[in-house]
Amino acid sequence: MITLIAILTFLLLAGGFRSVSLPVKAVLLNLLTLTSTLGFMVMFWQDGHGAKALFGVHATAAVTAPGRRRTRATLDGRRSTCKRRSGDLHST
């Protein structure tokens, strides 16, 4: 899946911008971002650095489904809070 995304990113950017260096840099930075995010999740949930302090969860020795859900909920909560503060969301 990662390979498919990298290839599609490269092809679309190469076709759109008629450049080789821009798509190569975009793919490399995309892979760097992905690996750093996954590395952080492993460090946080699997090794337990900070999971106990934030969620009261001990090191799990695996990145479990609840850990992924908590991470997603935290990120989504921050996004919606930022949007509410900036006035982008309409109150219903």
In sign, the C-alpha dihedral spanning 4, 9, 10, 16 is positive
Tens-level pLDDT at each residue, the chain (92 residues): 778 888 999 999 999 999 999 999 999 998 888 888 888 878 887 888 887 787 787 887 776 677 667 777 776 666 555 555 555 555 54
